């Protein structure tokens, strides 16, 4: 395993059939000469295994050698979602089947021009055997190649490679006989007895072989199970892939690179960053340049090396052209992840695409092979970062991650199922994260597994955005966490569905949280259904999902729902809407406390440009671990690049923000304005600051 | 930390605290015996007993005529508040399968210890928690945040090689329930051997002699310690250890089930089964019930961890390690600034559960 202070910095280079072979030598020489050190090649099942018993790796062989000759390291990205034509001839039942009965097979897309998308059903045993044989063949062939850096065994794990990524119920996959059979076995493993499943689903099945996959929304846990089954499917497939490589190569690390939520959702993509990250030696992601993506990955990685595997700096397509990255864009791609512990950067891609609708975008060169105008700036950044490589590559702990945000597939599926949309979960997650980040806290993420295992004790505060589907075990663990001194914050509808019974809870917050939090639901209001005239909050919100309120003179907002509660003795109202209806309750619990927000606070703060919940959060959770961050304006994040004297200051707001640091600093790229107070960031600006005193 | 029943124990505690706080003379020498007498207003005998205990624990050494000084086991480390403490659960890689009953079972005890440490540390330190296959520690250590943890707690199936590797990296390591001999490491242990012996004793007291045992992996010190407790008690009670009654497994509920089926097929079948943990005991109870027998009546079963309280569908005896106390002791060790590779024993509590009987012994 590579342990030197190597920080990969480079590009995706080869996705057969482009670039053509006559450009390889020229491009890779230039890439190295320009200061980059790593390239990524796709090894595609359809392309490199053109006949059942014949592999043709001549292109990869040559590319590996060119990389080695030029001192470049290679990420080998194994692409199995492009099934060979012969596979279907051999196994006609290999295709995924959608809910509406459509066979998904053999598509060519803008990002898989050679066809074969989305590959076989992941439950087709023969196809799985053949996919693993392909991986083993690759591992045998390149295990000892001196250019090999890492095996990236899954590019953006999901089910349909974007064919059916939008979560429409009729597009869900896969309803083929193999998947249904596996699903029934999965249910048996989960529930043990059919009677238990019948209780949770509300059915009267005679045995597990009667169980039907969910086909429409309207019921709860059958849909949740059906989609969670696919999350496990993707995770299990990753385990098989990693094992297939390790059989022949235990020296090189194995990883996959995911796409974080909300871009990939649990309903149709079934990619669980936490579960996938537990499998490999390293982790990576696409579009990981924002603090949310970097934060999710760093949390899921649990100390494993993390790379930003696929930076989309030059997106575009044939008729719309492409985005030309500015210095600010490039700095954000590199330094925001760097401040979150990411230690590797691969751009998509070196040559612009020439085949298909992604042409002429995505390249760091122009169509003729010359450097693009922004490349000079990128090279400067690369040199700057690599000059710090000894300090950077040495692993450092993350900054104290004071706040953990709950990331959960079951809640996401449940929110989609209940709300007929993705906004409830996604906006709550995005806003929940942003509230804390923009208030100066270091924020990580945790999943259901971390609640079970006790790994939540890494955090001092837990935030549950739109946590609609919980169970009483979670409540017990939360009670223990607060008893031991932690703070826990729930939004409206927490624990609405009890996953253990499948039922809507009789009290809200549900699953026993009502007693724990000392509140009991009285009435439920929604911005889309104003029936009650006693409170002016909802009337004010008519036509909008936002529910603004103020706290110590600061504006903030909830969204969509407003639950009125009866409070137990000892439960305190911390903040209220203008009409007097409580917005935030708090109750002491052991050494810690439990907070209940009566609305979707994350959603509101995501959508309300004037929102500033920092005062509320400081009162609820205490000051940020690095106390001077409390004095930063809401929206300015300042992260230490651990191991160096660099700090990254960036803004998520669309307005200029001035801030002061407690020490003197030099703006390394001159992207901030120097003011009397310190610095000012332009809208969505970034500055790389070196502490000088 | 330690029951303060006698004056010498009080003096022992105070000297230990002085050592932790670096209150020593030059070159690591302790005060003289007479100076301690004056300082604590106690007799010379009391001071000598306290120093003798410190010497027995290899915390101090004595050179006649020169005095008492800190042993090489004691290191000075700096871990002020707000630094990083890593807490790892180790398991053999082949068993590290998320979602299996094994994983969920392991997590129950780890969770209790994390909680207790979190409470005791009062948010003063940053905790990093991970579950890791033991053969990955060395591989991952250099390139992961583990290498920058100021202190490390190891739990689960800790092997000597892992401890030695981390010590080689200059890390301060506390290991929970680690019984490997001849390894100098800071330990917090339950009295596993004694308690497993007591379980057998309780079965014998109720007239049983056909007592079987399902152990964990035989290269794992905690598992051997528990087996030795079983062995001690069998010998003590003049009972023959039938090789057919001794099983070694992977500490999973599934193993408990399969190995119990094998035990029930032995003629004559055992009337008691001492299991390595509650997970195995759960599997054992299931197998007994599936054989048409009543666990807790026809076959008595015991486990370890008190992970489920009395919530399992069948009654079985268990040993409660008192995780709150364990976590408190570990937290005390993790936060101290003078590192001592010492051992603290936390006695567990035996909870006997049979069909018509439940009592804490």
Nearest to A205 by CA among A222, A226, A227: A222
**Is the confidence at residue A371, as pLDDT, over 70?**
yes
Q: In 10 A of CB A54, how many CB atoms?
A: 9
- The percent of chain A in helix, strand and coil, each rounded to the nearest 5, is 35, 25, 40
Tell me how far apart the alpha carbons of residues B231 and B249 are, in angstroms, rounded to a whole number. Answer: 17
Q: List CB contacts (< 8 A) between B129 and chain A.
A: 453-455, 457-458
Listed in sequence order, the residues at least 6 apart from A58 whose beta carbon sits closer than 8 Å to its beta carbon are none
Are the C-beta atoms of residues B316 and B158 closer than 8 Å to each other?
no
CA A243 to mean position of chain CA atoms: 24
Q: End-to-end alpha-carbon separation of chain A, Å?
A: 38
ipTM: 0.83
Note the pLDDT of residue B2: 41
The H-or-E segment that residue A565 falls in is strand A561-567
Asked whether the predicted pLDDT for residue A1 surpasses 70, the reply is no
CA separation for the pair B242, B245 (Å, rounded): 5
Element (H, E) at A687: strand A686-691
Chain A residue numbers touching B131 (CB-CB < 8 A): 453
Cα B203 to Cα B197: distance, rounded to the nearest angstrom: 10
Verify whether the Cβ–Cβ distance A305 to B149 is below 8 Å.
no
Percent of chain A with pLDDT over 70: 97
The pLDDT score that the predictor gives to residue B106 is 55
Q: How far is Cα B210 from Cα B239, in angstroms, rounded to an integer?
A: 8
B116 touching chain A per CB within 8 A: yes
B1 pLDDT more than 50: no
What mean pLDDT is predicted for residues B232-236? 96
pLDDT tens digits along A558-597: 999 999 999 999 999 999 998 889 999 999 999 999 999 9
Distance CA A240, CA A401 (A): 32
Provide the β-strand partners of residue B307: none
Residue A477 CB contacts under 8 Å (≥ 6 apart), including other chains: A451, A452, A454, A456, B111
What is the per-residue pLDDT for B244? 96
**Helix, strand, or coil here: A403?**
strand
| pLDDT tens, residue by residue, A422-475 | 999 999 999 999 999 999 999 999 999 999 889 999 999 999 999 999 999 999
Instruction: With beta carbons less than 8 A apart as the criterion, state whether A580 and A561 touch.
Output: no
Report whether pLDDT(B107) > 60: no
**Backbone φ/ψ region at A321: left (φ over 0), alpha (ψ -120 to 50), beta:** left
Displacement of CA B203 from its chain's centroid (Å): 23
Q: Do A302 and B84 touch (CB under 8 A)?
A: no
The confidence score (pLDDT) of residue A344 equals 95
Q: What are phi and psi of A633, to 5 degrees?
A: -65, 145
Q: Is B129 on the interface with A (CB under 8 A)?
A: yes
pLDDT (tens digit per residue) in A65-119: 999 999 999 999 999 999 999 999 999 999 999 999 999 999 999 999 999 999 9
Cβ neighbours of B99 in A, within 8 Å: 232
∠ Cα A560 A468 A455 (to 5°)? 125
Unique residue bearing structure tokens 């800790």: B158
The arithmetic mean of pLDDT across residues A492-508, rounded, is: 97
Chains A & B: contacts with CB separation below 8 Å: 93
Minimal C-alpha gap between B22 and chain A (Å): 28
> What do you get for the CA distance between the two ends of chain B, in Å?
22
**Integer Cα distance of A192 and B164 in angstroms:** 42
Of the given ranges (A137-151, A395-409, A521-535), which has the lowest mean pLDDT?
A: A521-535
Task: State yes or no: pLDDT of B57 exceeds 90.
Answer: no
Q: Is the pLDDT of residue B40 over 50?
A: yes
Unique residue bearing structure tokens 């990236």? A152
Overall average pLDDT of the B219-230 stretch: 91
Tokens 């001999």, residue located: B181
The residue in chain A having the minimum alpha-carbon distance to the alpha carbon of residue B139 is A1
Task: Give the Cβ contact number of residue A94 at 10 Å.
Answer: 21
Question: Which has more pLDDT, B183 or A198?
Answer: A198
Q: Are the beta carbons of B120 and B328 closer than 8 angstroms?
A: yes
pLDDT band at residue A399 under the 50/70/90 scheme:
low
A571 upstream amide cis, omega within 30 of 0? no
Residue A567 class from Cβ within 10 Å (0-12 exposed, 13-18 middle, 19+ buried)? middle
Phi, psi of B131 (to 5 degrees): -110, 130
**Which of A248-252, A277-281, A478-482, B22-26 is the least confident region?**
B22-26
pLDDT band at A310 (very low <50, low <70, confident <90, very high): very high
* Least confident window among A436-440, A470-474, A540-544, B329-333: A540-544
pLDDT tens readout for residues A16-45: 999 999 999 999 999 999 999 999 999 999
pLDDT for res B105: 59
Sheet bearing A657-659, strands edge to edge = A657-659, A679-681, A673-674
Bridge partners (DSSP) of residue A316 are: A322
| Beta strand spans in A80-220 (E) | 96-97, 103-104, 107-109, 112-117, 148-155
Question: φ and ψ at B260, to 5 degrees?
Answer: -65, -35
For residue B84, the chain A residues in CB contact (below 8 A) are 397
Q: Which residues of A touch B112 (CB under 8 A)?
A: 454
Mean pLDDT of chain A: 94
Contacts of A486 in chain B (CB under 8 A): 118
The C-alpha atoms of residue A431 and residue A451 are separated, in whole angstroms, by 22
Question: Alpha carbon A252 to chain centroid distance?
Answer: 25
**Does residue A693 carry a pLDDT above 80?**
no
Residues A577 and A596: their CA atoms lie apart, in Å, by 14
Count Cβ atoms within 10 A of the Cβ of residue A93 and give its class: 0-12 exposed, 13-18 middle, 19 or more buried.
middle
Two tokens at B81?
Answer: 């508040």
CA-nearest of A426, A414, A468, A403 to A623 is A403
Q: How far is CA A437 from CA A13, A200, A444, A635, A649, in A?
A: 35, 38, 10, 8, 12
Q: What count of other Cβ atoms lies within 10 Å of the Cβ of residue A248?
A: 16
What's residue B96's pLDDT?
41
B82 contact A CB<8A: yes
| Cα–Cα distance for residue pair A563/A585, rounded to 1 Å | 12
DSSP string, A493-552: TTT-EETTT-SBPSSSSTTTHHHHHTEEEEEEEETTB----S-HHHHHTTTSSEEEEEET
Integer CA distances (angstroms), A646 to A638, A670, B21, B334, in order: 10, 14, 35, 31
For residue A458, list chain B residues with Cβ-Cβ distance below 8 A.
Answer: 126-129
Q: Are B34 and B45 in contact (CB under 8 A)?
A: no
A669-to-A640, A672, B350 alpha-carbon distances in Å: 16, 8, 66
pLDDT of residue B98: 40
Nearest residue in A to B142, CA atom:
A3
A542 pLDDT above the threshold of 70 = no
Closest CA to A456 of A378, A380, A403, A377: A403
**Which helix H or strand E contains B140, and what residues bound it?**
helix B137-140
Nearest in space to A141 (alpha carbons), one of A13, A41, A261: A41
As given in the structure block, the two tokens for residue A168 are 């429409």
Asked if the Cβ–Cβ distance from A453 to B110 is below 8 Å, we say yes
B83-119 CB burial, b ≥16 within 10 A, e <16: bbbbbbbbbbeebbebeeebbbbbbbbbbbbbbbbbb
* Helices A409-419, A221-246: crossing angle, 10 deg rounding: 140
Q: Which of B111, B139, B176 to mutate to test the interface with A (most CBs of A within 10 A)?
A: B111
- Would the CB atoms of B117 and A457 count as touching at under 8 Å? yes
Distance between CA atoms of A393 and A341, rounded to whole angstroms?
Answer: 10
């Amino acid at each position: 395993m590579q342990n030197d202070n190597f920080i990969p910095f480079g590009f995706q280079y080869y996705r057969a059939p482009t670039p053509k072979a006559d450009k390889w030598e020229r491009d890779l020489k230039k890439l190295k000469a320009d200061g980059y050190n790593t390239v990524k090649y796709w090894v595609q099942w359809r392309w490199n295994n053109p006949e059942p018993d014949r592999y043709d790796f001549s292109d990869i062989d040559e590319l590996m050698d060119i990389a080695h000759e030029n001192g470049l390291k290679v990420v080998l990205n194994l692409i199995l979602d492009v099934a060979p034509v012969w596979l279907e001839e051999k196994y006609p039942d290999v295709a995924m089947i959608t809910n509406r009965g459509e066979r998904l097979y053999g598509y060519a897309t803008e990002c898989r021009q050679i066809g074969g998308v989305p590959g076989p059903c992941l439950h087709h045993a023969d196809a799985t055997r053949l996919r693993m044989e392909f991986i083993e063949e690759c591992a045998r062939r390149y295990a000892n190649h001196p250019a090999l850096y890492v095996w990236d065994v899954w590019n953006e794990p999901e089910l349909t490679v974007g064919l059916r990524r939008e979560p429409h119920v009729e597009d869900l996959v896969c309803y083929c006989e193999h998947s249904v059979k596996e699903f029934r076995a999965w249910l048996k493993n989960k529930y043990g007895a059919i009677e238990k499943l019948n209780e949770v689903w509300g059915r009267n099945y005679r045995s597990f072989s009667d169980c039907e996959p969910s086909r429409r929304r309207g019921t709860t846990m059958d849909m949740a199970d059906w989609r969670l089954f696919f999350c496990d499917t993707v995770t299990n497939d990753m385990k098989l892939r990693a094992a297939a490589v390790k059989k022949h190569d235990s020296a090189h690390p194995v990883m996959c690179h995911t796409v974080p939520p909300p871009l990939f959702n649990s309903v149709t993509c079934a990619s669980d960053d936490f579960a996938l990250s537990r499998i490999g030696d390293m982790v990576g992601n696409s579009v990981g340049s924002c603090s949310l993506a970097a934060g999710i990955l760093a949390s899921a990685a649990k100390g494993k090396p993390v790379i930003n595997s696929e930076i989309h700096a030059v997106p575009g397509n044939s008729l719309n052209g492409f985005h030309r990255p500015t210095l600010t864009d490039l700095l954000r791609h590199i330094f925001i992840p760097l401040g979150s512990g990411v230690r590797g950067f691969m751009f998509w891609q070196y040559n612009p695409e020439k085949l298909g609708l992604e042409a002429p975008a995505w390249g760091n060169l122009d169509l003729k092979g010359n450097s693009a105008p922004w490349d000079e700036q990128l090279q400067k950044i690369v040199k700057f970062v690599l000059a710090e490589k000894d300090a950077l590559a040495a692993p450092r702990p993350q900054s104290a991650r004071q706040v953990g945000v709950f990331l959960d597939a079951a809640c996401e599926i449940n929110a989609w199922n209940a709300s007929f949309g993705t906004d409830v979960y996604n906006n709550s997650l995005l806003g929940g994260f942003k509230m804390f980040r923009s208030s100066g806290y270091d924020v990580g993420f945790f999943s259901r597994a971390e609640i079970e295992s006790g790994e939540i004790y890494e955090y001092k505060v837990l935030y549950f955005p739109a946590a609609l589907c919980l169970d009483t075990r979670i409540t017990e663990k939360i009670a223990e966490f607060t008893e031991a001194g932690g703070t826990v914050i729930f939004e409206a509808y927490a624990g609405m569905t009890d996953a253990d019974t499948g039922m809507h809870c009789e009290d809200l917050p549900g699953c026993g949280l009502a007693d724990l939090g000392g509140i009991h639901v009285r009435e439920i209001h929604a911005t889309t259904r104003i029936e009650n005239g006693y409170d002016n909050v909802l009337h004010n919100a008519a036509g909008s999902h936002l529910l603004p309120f103020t706290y110590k003179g600061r504006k903030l907002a909830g969204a969509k729902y407003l639950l009125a509660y009866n409070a137990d003795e000892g439960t305190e109202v911390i903040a209220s809407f203008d009409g007097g209806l409580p917005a935030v309750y708090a109750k002491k619990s052991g050494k810690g406390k439990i907070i209940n927000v009566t609305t979707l606070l994350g959603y509101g703060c995501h959508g309300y440009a004037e929102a500033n919940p920092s005062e509320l959060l400081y009162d609820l959770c205490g000051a940020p671990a690095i106390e001077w961050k409390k004095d930063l304006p809401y929206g300015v994040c300042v992260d230490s690049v651990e191991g160096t004297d660099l700090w990254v200051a960036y803004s998520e707001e669309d307005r200029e923000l001035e801030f002061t640091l407690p020490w003197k600093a030099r703006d390394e790229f001159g992207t901030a304005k120097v003011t009397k107070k310190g610095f000012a960031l332009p809208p969505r600006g970034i500055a790389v600051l070196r502490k000088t005193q | 930390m330690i029951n303060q029943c006698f004056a010498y124990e009080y003096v022992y505690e105070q000297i230990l605290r002085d050592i932790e706080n670096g209150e020593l003379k030059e070159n690591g020498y302790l005060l003289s015996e007479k100076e301690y007498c004056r300082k604590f207003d106690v007799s010379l005998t009391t001071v000598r007993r306290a120093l003798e205990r410190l010497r027995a624990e290899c915390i101090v050494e004595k050179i006649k005529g020169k005095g008492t000084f800190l042993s090489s086991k004691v290191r000075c480390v700096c871990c002020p508040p707000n630094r990083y403490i890593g807490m790892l659960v180790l398991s053999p890689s082949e068993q590290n399968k998320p979602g299996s009953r094994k994983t969920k079972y392991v997590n129950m005890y780890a969770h209790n210890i994390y909680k207790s440490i979190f409470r005791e540390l009062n948010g003063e330190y940053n905790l990093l928690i991970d579950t890791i296959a033991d053969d990955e520690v060395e591989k991952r250590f250099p390139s992961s945040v583990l290498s920058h943890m100021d202190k490390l707690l190891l739990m689960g199936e800790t092997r000597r090689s892992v401890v030695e590797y981390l010590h080689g990296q200059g890390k301060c390591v506390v290991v929970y329930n680690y019984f490997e001999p001849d390894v100098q490491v800071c330990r917090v242990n339950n009295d596993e051997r004694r308690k497993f012996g007591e379980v057998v004793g309780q079965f014998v007291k109720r007239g049983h002699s056909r007592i079987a045992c399902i152990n964990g992996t035989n290269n794992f010190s905690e598992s051997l310690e528990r087996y030795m407790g079983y062995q001690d008690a069998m010998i003590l009670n003049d009972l023959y250890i039938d090789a057919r009654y001794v099983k070694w497994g992977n500490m999973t509920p599934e193993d408990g089930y399969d190995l119990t089926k094998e035990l029930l097929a032995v003629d004559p079948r055992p009337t008691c089964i001492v299991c390595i943990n509650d997970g195995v005991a759960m599997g054992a109870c299931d197998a007994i019930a599936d054989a048409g027998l009543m666990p807790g009546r026809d076959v008595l079963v015991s486990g370890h961890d008190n992970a489920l309280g009395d919530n399992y569908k069948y009654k079985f005896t268990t040993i409660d390690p008192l995780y709150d106390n364990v976590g408190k002791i570990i937290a005390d060790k993790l936060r101290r600034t003078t590192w001592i590779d010492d051992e603290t024993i936390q006695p567990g509590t035996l909870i006997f559960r049979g069909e018509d009987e439940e009592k804490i012994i």
